[in-house]
Amino acid sequence: MPQTTREILALTHPYDSLPPEALDHLAETVVRRDVDAGTTIYPQGAPLDALYLIIRGRVEITDESGALLSILGPRNSFGERGLMRDGLAATTARADSDSQLIAVPADTFRALIADHPRVARFFDRTRPARAKRQDLATMRLADMMTPAPHTATPDTPIRAAAQTMREHGVSSLMITQGDTVTGIVTTRDLTNKALAEGLAPDTPVRAVMTANPMSLPPSALVSDVLHVMVERRITHMPVIDDGRLVGILTQTDLTRFQATSSAALIRDVADADTVDDLTGIVARIPQLLVQLVGGHNAHQVVTRLITDVGDATTRRLLAMAQEQLGPPPVPYLWLACGSQGRQEQTGVSDQDNCLILDDAMQPQHDAYFKALATFVSDGLDACGYFYCPGDMMATADRWRQPLRVWTQYFQKWIAKPDPEAQMLASVMFDLRPIGGDERLFADLQADTLAAAAGNSIFVAHMVSNSLKHTPPLGLFRGFATVRSGEHKNQIDLKHNGVGPIVDLGRIYALQGQSAQTNTRARLEAAIDGGQVSPTGGRDLLDAYDMIAEARLEHQARQIRRGDTPDNFMAPTDLSDFERSHLRDAFVVVKTMQSAAGQGRGILS
């Protein structure tokens, strides 16, 4: 961190756009202020006398009900919304840790935005983004990232790297070899690892970089980035598209693009010390669902945010297990299938998971991994992710195997697609890595998709298997409801609602060799790739959106009533208009199933 206020401002956007004389004046006008953890910097509704910039520490921003809106770190600003409106604080700001701030007096701030258009545009963009925070989660990383980030090679001296960062006013450099990203170096690395350790200026940057940094594709949601940053306590996110570096997103970029209280849940999960702590945190998911549905978020956003909490919970349990058992004897990868694998968890979910182990595993190592699987599955069950009724969990010996065995599984299912193989393949084609060494899955997934797509007999059996779940259509424009039992006169919005579309999406992904696991992403890829006609594909997307949103709205109503959410809805709960359109959606699904069964819905 630079020592002088002017140096800090010169490396912070939008002040880096100021001419030298304006920057000099600003540095002389602002005030540096230290605040202790827990200090309220200003309460909601109080008069604002300054805009604040964080130099060190973290600041929580909450709304009038106390709900967490964002967690801000160094180089983030806050308070501008109130200053640009009526001079009153629109939120409450509280120091989450010992922090140091720069306070820009209100009159100075107003003069800045009046005299410098680039500064004005920066803060004017921030205002509507925060006011419409329910829409932020739908934004894609491609819309926010900084394209073409600055790069260096691993052999670049740390002095040259620092000079490049100073010259361009950036806080990081991507370290690349050819087209491959091998690491990232930040100002924090240069301070903590180079300067503090007294490294020579000609030391290669590889000595202080973070190797193989976490990255996301440009199609990822803004909420994905926020959750990863909060959970893993990182401040820079490289953006990789098909193996190619296309951009970077920093914590500063996220200042005005915070997700709703799902960020608070993930932060609490990352800080949890016990399974009991996790249980209390995950118990807040139903209220999160109500909030997100009430905010008219798209169903794929709601389920993605809820699944993010489930992913973070799983990773925290894996870490707890390793704290108890010690480091693993060989590399492993924990994967989820089912709704978690597809990033489609709702207010009610069981667990479906497995373990892929490195081929170096020896028989005596299984005791460790069985104990790890038991700890995690028991923890997930305690948190409300109930044991899979079909025992599709890593606790089962069958689903805790070395990579070579998993390769044999898929080869056998594809070569001999009997009913059990079809069922297992359907489940396992939804696998998504959650925690561990992801290299154990990359080749297996690519090889399996290629082999499966090239086997027309297997594809035909998978299509036939996908038609077993049918939409609940009855005669005379009615619904085929459950005939007896606890859910008599209700329709199952999971198995007969979204289920048939999930099955179709999996078939399209298989035929197109798409690595996507999310159903909506699979449908979009199928349209782009020609696995379905544009008209039929768009109709199916619209039908999926209607059915999935009806399911979430049903669960939200149950939660608001104090009931446990489920997937069974009585058609009488809907208006005539809603029933008519929901039935039309089921007709679209039935039509697409028929086309797939006749070979017209997919490429042959």
- CATH number of the CATH domain containing 355: 3.30.460.10
Contact (CB, 8 A) for 337 and 431: yes
Phi, psi of 353, deg, nearest 5: -155, 170
Residue 91 placed within a domain: yes
Residue 331 placed within a domain: yes
> Average model confidence (pLDDT) for the chain?
86
- CATH number for the domain spanning 584: value is 1.20.120
CA 404 to chain centre: 30
Q: Which of 220, 250, 280 is the last residue of a domain?
A: 250
0.85 exceeded by pTM: no
Residue 97 placed within a domain: yes
Residue 128 confidence (pLDDT): 32
> 413-451: string of b/e by CB count within 10 Å (b at 16+)?
bbeebeeebbebbbbbbbbbbbbbbeebbeebbeebbee
Q: Which of 250, 285, 315 is the last residue of a domain?
A: 250
CA angle 120, 122, 127 (to 5 degrees): 90
Same-domain status, 175 and 313? no
More confident call, 500 vs 535: 500
Same-domain status, 429 and 349? yes
Cis amide bond preceding 14, omega within 30: yes
DSSP string, 401-432: EEHHHHHHHHHHHHHS--HHHHHHHHHHTT-E
CA 546 to chain centre: 23
The predicted-structure confidence for 365-420, as pLDDT tens digits, reads as follows 999 999 999 999 999 999 999 999 889 999 999 999 999 999 999 999 999 888 88
Q: Which amino acid belongs to residue 406?
A: W
Residue 66 confidence (pLDDT): 66
Q: How many distinct structural domains can be found in the chain?
A: 4
Same-domain status, 449 and 347? yes
Same-domain status, 148 and 181? yes
The predicted-structure confidence for 135-147, as pLDDT tens digits, reads as follows 455 567 776 788 8
Same-domain status, 562 and 502? yes
Residue 257 placed within a domain: no
Same-domain status, 478 and 504? yes
Residue 472 placed within a domain: yes
Q: Which of 272, 229, 276 is nearest to 254 (CA)?
A: 229
The predicted-structure confidence for 176-224, as pLDDT tens digits, reads as follows 988 889 999 998 899 999 988 899 999 999 999 999 898 888 888 777 7
Residue 317 placed within a domain: yes
Could you give the C-alpha distances from 198 to 3, 173, 191, 193, in angstroms and in order?
18, 21, 10, 8
CA 504 to chain centre: 24
Residue 136 placed within a domain: no
Residue 138 placed within a domain: no
**Helix intervals (H) in 284-438:** 285-294, 299-325, 338-341, 366-382, 403-415, 419-428
Same-domain status, 93 and 184? no
Same-domain status, 61 and 150? no
- CATH number for the domain spanning 74: value is 2.60.120.10
Q: Which domain holds residue 110?
A: 5-131
Same-domain status, 425 and 517? no
Same-domain status, 109 and 169? no
- CATH number for the domain spanning 185: value is 3.10.580.10
Q: Which of 427, 453, 479 is the last residue of a domain?
A: 453
Same-domain status, 293 and 407? yes
Average confidence (pLDDT) over 145-169 = 91
Same-domain status, 298 and 412? yes
Cα four-point dihedral sign 63, 67, 73, 76: negative
Residue 382 confidence (pLDDT): 96
Contact (CB, 8 A) for 466 and 495: no
